[in-house]
Amino acid sequence: MHSLDNLKKELSSVVKATTFSQYKFSESLGHGVLELPKEDIVPVIRFLRETGKFDFLMDVCGVDYPERQKRFDVVYHLFSSKTYQRLRIKVALAEGEEIDSITPFWKGANWFERETFDMFGIRFRGHPNLIKLLTHHQFVGHPLRKDYDADAQQHCDSALPIHFEPDPNYVEDGRSLVPLNIGPSHPATHGTLRVMVELDGEKIHRANVELGYLHRCFEKMAETHPYNQVIPYTDRLNYCSAPLNNVAYCKTVERLLGVEVPPKAQAMRIILSELARVIDHIVCIGANAVDLGALTTFFHLFTYREKVYTLFEKLCGARLTVALTRIGGMAQDAPPGWFNDVMQTVKEIRKGVDELDTLLSGNKIWIQRTQGVGAISADEAIAWGYTGPCLRAAGVSLDLRKADPYYMYGQLDFEVPIGSTGDVYDRYLVRVAEMRESLKIVEQVCKNIPEGDYTIRDRGIVLPEKKDVYGNIEGLMNHFMLIIKGLRPPVGEIYDATEGANGELGFYLVSDGSGRPYRLHVRPPCFAIYQSFSQQVTGGLVADVISVLGSMNLIAGELDR
Amino acid sequence: MNASTGSTAASASTSVGGTSVKDAQLEELSRSFAFTTRLDDIIAWGRKNSLWPMPYGTACCGIELMSVMGPKYDLARFGAEVVRFSPRQADLLIVAGTITEKMAPILVHIYQQMLDPKYVISMGACASSGGFYRAYHVLQGIDKVIPVDVFVPGCPPTPEAVLDGVLALQRLIATHQPRPWKDNWKAPDYAQLG
């Protein structure tokens, strides 16, 4: 609260007094909230950015309230890597009103604003390229508006030709350039990414990317499902590390509900999260290496990934998309001996990571293909909104497990590995080191599994056990009410973030007190990182495109949602 | 197509292993190393055991498909390990993952580039029906745009289920099942090749 008062005082000297009276300051679940008129967004953002009060723009999104006179909210989430404080800025807009783009202050605002335009039709004045981002080019309307039906499909019958972002500085100098299209179905893109480049010989003259080939309407689906039924959808965001998404989503809802999960559930969540982080890094490194010709790494590492999947299977029967958490705890307890199995597997994986280190870290070809490729400075990375291993490879030691420890992370002993140049090789090294740290965490937690229940037993939140549903009338009624009406968080909103495998995985949830989220927005880490791709590869060799693409660990499910 | 390999020796004499042999001898000799079959059977046998898949991995199922190809489940055991990323070199299209409306025209385009005989496996709930994405941007099943031979259920299907799907396709090929969905398929209007 103290910092919010400071902010209030400082802002009052920056902006005009007439508009300042319209500012509303409040505190919401540990985050500062600032509501301001649309004219003031640029001066306020400039002030916050240039004074270094907040160095990260984490997210920009929209919310639609059709019954309000000013129908839309544009919501900005800022974060400071020095004080670890967060600030939410909200601006109300009526239909047809425009707001100034904040891309001059944070390059990373680009795609977030484009997405908000695509989803809500909110126009950002001064945005360099305000066109659709996720929906296809023939799509009419703005799907996240409340008056757009969730299942109103619109067919598409063509793909866009190769295109580039408008650039006022671009001059055609008569050289003959070769256009090249990669994807959206290409082995090196591991998913549905489309990269378009213009080549001058082997060199990339300019580049562009197209998104949306896996836009599965996660946010709209979340609005049409009860809270617990959203969990399987979160699995399919970053499907390489599904438990991390489960945990992040459930943690968000639990914070809004004001409940804390029991220690045993926390321990299980940490184990699942860290194992998921390891296999996510395995997929990233394995696929990155296979694209550069190192097939052995891929096959070798996937053996260990299978071992982790075997553990998941033992726990719940599913391998990839586990949906293991529930709001309030876990879906079920671990079977007897499971934690010992985890310990055993951790030992094996550790050996695998060492072998990976031997295979790649000193490998001449690997080093030549990755060192100095895709290098990015810390400032650039922050301006783009990098988080996670890619940011840490650039030398910024920011890990939410340390910065803003949740669950038991504060009491665990682990390091945050960082690199220095931010190139593909450093990203690889950071990931390898992180795998070791994650294994360390899993071991520490497994050695001291807390006693007690795996879920809270609040009747308004968690389903009763099967024996109670079948055995007594209270259980039956409780079950019926929860299934029919769903759990209902209080009216309010929350932004909660966890450290995903790719970086900050944030959920912004608006609750209207009903059984379904009014609005659920995901801040996907690789979305922010991928924005910088065109700039990173321009001027480099075409072969390096593949190297950089692999190192960013782009998961289409999370990128396009 | 009833020619049997055992009765093809029509010439008066031929040379086997450098020595000249008579017809009767050849007949005798052939019994020791040849067997008779129908030509289309042996072609089907070859086809079913050397499917060259093109993995069209778009989402979570694509990740599970990696496991199918990987060391533990090892699709190579069924002769389908030669993964081709060019549709022109593949005869089996494995659609693994959600196909969105935006992706649909590209999927049709890829399918059209494959040479006959060609087969399609739809892996997982999303590819088969849109799955639980009853949503504004998701194609509600790839059979709306291309013919599908085998649907594999699951979200995502276990690697065992995908192997089962490949085996089902092999049976379909080996037994010369009619494929009306393929024979009567017409490309969507926008994809009519001029």
Q: Domain-by-domain residue ranges, chain A?
A: 2-125, 218-560
- Cα–Cα separations (whole angstroms), residue A366 to A289, A389, A451, A554, B55: 8, 19, 46, 20, 26
Chain B residues with CB within 8 Å of chain A CB? 56-60, 62-64, 66-67, 70-72, 85, 97-98, 100-107, 109-110, 126, 132-140, 155-156, 158, 188-191
- Kindly state the tokens that stand for A270: 């940490």
**ipTM field:** 0.86
Verify whether the Cβ–Cβ distance A306 to B102 is below 8 Å. no
pLDDT at B15: 54
Bond prior to B55 in cis (omega within 30° of 0): no
Verify whether the Cβ–Cβ distance B71 to A191 is below 8 Å. no
pLDDT at B21: 63
Q: What are the beta bridge partners of residue B22?
A: B13
On whether the A218-560 domain is CATH 2.30.30.30, my answer is no
Which chain B residues are within 8 Å of A319, Cβ to Cβ? 64, 67, 158
Q: What are the beta bridge partners of residue A88?
A: A33, A77
Separation of alpha carbons A385 and A52, rounded Å: 15
| Dihedrals phi, psi of B150, to nearest 5 degrees | -130, 130
Verify whether the Cβ–Cβ distance B60 to A157 is below 8 Å. no
Verify whether the Cβ–Cβ distance B56 to A185 is below 8 Å. yes
Nearest by CB to residue B135, choosing from A212, A220, A232, is A220
Strand order across the A519-523 sheet: A492-499, A504-511, A519-523
Confidence of residue B11 (pLDDT cuts 50, 70, 90): very low
pLDDT at A466: 87
Query: Which run of H or of E encompasses A520?
Result: strand A519-523
| Nearest CA-CA distance, residue B8 and chain A, Å | 46
Which chain B residues are within 8 Å of A191, Cβ to Cβ? 57-59, 62
Task: Tell me if B155 sits within 8 A of A233, measured CB to CB.
Answer: no
Q: Is B77 exposed, middle or buried (0-12, 13-18, 19+ CB in 10 A)?
A: exposed
Which chain A residues are within 8 Å of B62, Cβ to Cβ? 190-191
Packing angle between helix A338-356 and helix A424-447, nearest 10 degrees? 160
Verify whether the Cβ–Cβ distance A151 to B135 is below 8 Å. yes
Nearest by CB to residue B136, choosing from A151, A191, A192, is A151
Q: What is the pLDDT of residues A334-359, one digit of tens each?
A: 999 999 999 999 999 999 999 988 88
Flag whether pLDDT at B103 surpasses 50.
yes
Verify whether the Cβ–Cβ distance A213 to B103 is below 8 Å. yes
Separation of alpha carbons A522 and A505, rounded Å: 7
Verify whether the Cβ–Cβ distance B100 to A216 is below 8 Å. yes
Separation of alpha carbons A218 and A225, rounded Å: 11
CA B93 to chain centre: 7
Helix (H, G, I), strand (E, B) or coil at B161: helix
| Nearest CA-CA distance, residue B49 and chain A, Å | 23
Of A119 and B6, the structure prediction assigns the larger pLDDT to: A119
Q: B52-191 in CATH: which number? A: 3.40.50.12280
- Cα–Cα separations (whole angstroms), residue A328 to A253, A316, A331, B166: 9, 17, 9, 41
- Kindly state the tokens that stand for B84: 């081709």
Separation of alpha carbons A72 and A90, rounded Å: 10
Q: What is the pLDDT of residues B138-170, one digit of tens each?
A: 999 999 999 999 999 998 899 999 999 999 999
| Dihedrals phi, psi of A492, to nearest 5 degrees | 160, -175
Flag whether pLDDT at B2 surpasses 50.
no
pLDDT at B7: 42
Verify whether the Cβ–Cβ distance A302 to B64 is below 8 Å. no
Verify whether the Cβ–Cβ distance A320 to B64 is below 8 Å. yes
Q: Choose, out of B56, B64, B84, B101, the residue to mutate when testing the contact with A (most A CBs < 10 Å).
A: B101
Residue ranges, chain A, pLDDT below 70: 1-2
Confidence of residue B17 (pLDDT cuts 50, 70, 90): low
- Residue of chain B minimizing CA distance to A191: B58
β-strand pairing of A178-182 with A194-200:
antiparallel
| Nearest CA-CA distance, residue A262 and chain B, Å | 30
On whether the A2-125 domain is CATH 3.40.50.1700, my answer is no
Packing angle between helix B39-48 and helix B159-174, nearest 10 degrees? 170
- Kindly state the tokens that stand for A317: 């029967």
- Kindly state the tokens that stand for A313: 């299977």
Share of chain B above pLDDT 70, in %: 88
Separation of alpha carbons A541 and A163, rounded Å: 20
Q: Is A181 exposed, middle or buried (0-12, 13-18, 19+ CB in 10 A)?
A: middle
pLDDT at A273: 93
| Nearest CA-CA distance, residue A63 and chain B, Å | 18
- Residue of chain A minimizing CA distance to B132: A233
In total, the C-beta contacts within 8 angstroms joining chain A to chain B are: 140
Separation of alpha carbons A518 and A154, rounded Å: 24
Where are the domains positioned within chain B?
52-191
Strand residues in B49-193 grouped as ranges (E) = 53-57, 92-96, 119-123, 150-152
Q: What is the DSSP letter of A147?
A: T
- Kindly state the tokens that stand for B134: 């009853």
CA A242 to chain centre: 12
Confidence of residue B16 (pLDDT cuts 50, 70, 90): low
Packing angle between helix A2-14 and helix A41-50, nearest 10 degrees? 120
Q: What are the beta bridge partners of residue B57?
A: B96
Nearest by CB to residue B70, choosing from A302, A319, A320, is A302
Q: What is the DSSP letter of B102?
A: T
Which chain A residues are within 8 Å of B137, Cβ to Cβ? 134-136, 139, 143, 153, 212, 215-217
Separation of alpha carbons B152 and A113, rounded Å: 39
Q: What is the pLDDT of residues A452-499, one digit of tens each?
A: 888 988 888 888 888 889 999 989 999 998 888 888 899 999 999 999
- Residue of chain A minimizing CA distance to B64: A320
Separation of alpha carbons A200 and A206, rounded Å: 9
pLDDT at A351: 92
Nearest by CB to residue A321, choosing from B138, B140, B155, is B155
Q: What are the beta bridge partners of residue A34?
A: A25, A89
- Would you list the DSSP string of B21-89? EEHHHHHHHHHHH-----HHHHHHHHHHTT--EEEEE-SHHHHHHHHHHSTTT-GGGGT-----SSGGG
Verify whether the Cβ–Cβ distance A214 to B135 is below 8 Å. no
- Would you list the DSSP string of A179-246? EEEE-SSBGGGTBS-EEEEEEETTEEEEEEEE--TT---HHHHHHTS-GGGGHHHHHTTSGGGHHHHH
